């Protein structure tokens, strides 16, 4: 199984690309954002509340919590998948080092890091117009990726919402956190000779095809 990391700012389209790739490749998509949202929604504990609040503001959830979710997923992933796509992890150098060490224990390593490159001004428009299905995680956009019926998920019929962290007052902070903590990972993977850059602007199917080429 090839372990792939997908990198890119919030709004760069990591989840959108992943949703397309799972339809065309034997690929397991692991999104730490989705895992954390599910964990926070399914428990009425102070810890779950604090995770939800951290996510709303766009700050990073603790390395320990996210790391243990990722280790759990790596342990579960079966041989039926050719690719294991990590979306949203690592998000800082400490997480990248943790992942590298964990994989090394099993003689494994990240095969490729794909960077979805999108200019800042495009990111803001994508995030503020994004609508998400809380039931299945599918993403839409009020102008550029409208659902067939307004407010209703094409995939499962769920009622679309604006994620609290997509509210305008939180978008700027998320982009700031990305620049401060995550952007340096491009250099981290470039140094290891496994960084692939993919233009993240354009038609979603074409971008997904370019990512598929990059990981094959
Ligand atoms: P986006 O990439 O659009 O910001 P995600 O769904 O990937 O959206 O992540 C949403 C939030 O989940 C992040 O802002 C952060 O609070 C939390 N999160 C996700 N992955 C991690 C991670 N690896 N480390 C810490 N926090 C994370
Ligand atoms: Zn849905």
Buried b (16+ CB within 10 A) or exposed e, 154-171: beeebebeebebbeeebb
Please list, in sequence order, all residues whose beta carbon lies within 8 angstroms of the beta carbon of residue 118, skipping any fewer than 6 positions away. Answer: 8, 9, 11, 12, 13, 126, 200, 201
Mutation test of ligand 1: which of 39, 48, 58, 61 has the most ligand atoms closer than 8 Å to its C-beta? 61
Establish if 101 belongs to a structural domain. yes
Establish if 140 belongs to a structural domain. no
CA of 58 to the centre of ligand 2 (A): 23
Please list, in sequence order, all residues whose beta carbon lies within 8 angstroms of the beta carbon of residue 136, skipping any fewer than 6 positions away. Answer: 153, 155, 156, 158
Establish if 34 belongs to a structural domain. yes
Average pLDDT over residues 4-8: 98
Contact 122, 175 (CB under 8 A): no
Is 76 labeled as catalytic in the residue annotation? Answer: no
Q: How confident is the model over 164-203, as pLDDT tens digits?
A: 999 999 999 999 999 999 999 999 999 999 999 999 999 9
pLDDT at 77: 73
Establish if 175 belongs to a structural domain. no
Q: How confident is the model over 118-143, as pLDDT tens digits?
A: 999 999 999 999 999 999 989 999 99
CA distance 32 to 76: 15
Given its phi and psi angles, is residue 178 left (phi above 0), alpha (psi -120 to 50 degrees) or beta?
alpha
Q: Could you list the residue range(s) of the whole structural domain that residue 186 is in?
A: 2-119+182-215
Establish if 95 belongs to a structural domain. yes
Q: How confident is the model over 65-102, as pLDDT tens digits?
A: 999 999 999 998 778 899 999 999 999 999 999 999 99
Buried b (16+ CB within 10 A) or exposed e, 42-55: eeeeeeeeebbebb
Q: How many independent structural domains does the chain possess?
A: 1
CATH number of 19's domain: 3.40.50.300
pLDDT at 43: 86
Verify cis geometry, omega within 30 degrees of 0, for the bond prior to 145: no
Alpha helices in the chain (DSSP H): 14-24, 32-41, 46-57, 63-76, 93-105, 120-128, 168-177, 185-191, 204-215
pLDDT at 78: 74
Contact 154, 138 (CB under 8 A): yes
* Catalytic choice (14, 20, 126, 131): 14
Question: pLDDT band at 113, cuts 50/70/90?
Answer: very high
Q: Which two tokens stand for residue 24?
A: 């065309």
Contact 130, 166 (CB under 8 A): yes
pLDDT at 80: 86
pLDDT at 17: 97
Give which of 107, 39, 27 is closest to 68, Cα–Cα.
Answer: 39
pLDDT at 23: 95
- pTM for the model stands at 0.94
Establish if 150 belongs to a structural domain. no
Q: How confident is the model over 28-56, as pLDDT tens digits?
A: 999 999 999 999 988 899 999 999 999 99
Establish if 149 belongs to a structural domain. no
Establish if 18 belongs to a structural domain. yes
CA distance 52 to 73: 21
Lining residues, ligand 1, CB within 6 Å: 10-11, 32-33, 36, 54-55, 58-61, 66, 88-89, 91, 95, 165, 174
């Amino acid at each position: 199984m090839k372990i792939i990391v997908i990198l890119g700012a919030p709004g760069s389209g990591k989840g959108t690309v992943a949703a397309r790739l799972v339809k065309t490749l034997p690929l397991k998509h692991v999104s730490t954002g989705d895992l954390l949202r599910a964990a926070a929604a399914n428990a009425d504990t102070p810890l779950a509340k604090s995770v939800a609040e951290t996510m709303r503001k766009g700050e990073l959830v603790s390395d320990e919590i996210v790391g243990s979710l990722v280790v759990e997923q790596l342990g579960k992933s079966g041989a039926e998948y050719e690719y294991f796509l990590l979306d949203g992890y690592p998000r800082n150098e400490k997480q990248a080092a943790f992942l590298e060490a964990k994989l090394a224990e099993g003689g494994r390593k990240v095969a490729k890091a794909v960077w979805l490159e999108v200019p800042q001004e495009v990111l803001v428009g994508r995030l503020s117009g994004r609508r998400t299905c809380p039931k299945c995680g599918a993403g839409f956009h009020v102008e550029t990726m409208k659902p067939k019926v307004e407010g209703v998920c094409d995939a499962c019929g769920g009622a679309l919402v604006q994620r609290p962290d997509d509210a305008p007052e939180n978008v700027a902070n998320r982009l700031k956190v990305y620049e401060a903590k995550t952007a340096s990972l491009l250099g981290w993977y470039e140094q290891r000779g496994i960084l692939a850059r993919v233009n993240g602007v354009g038609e979603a199917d074409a971008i997904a095809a370019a990512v598929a080429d990059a990981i094959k």
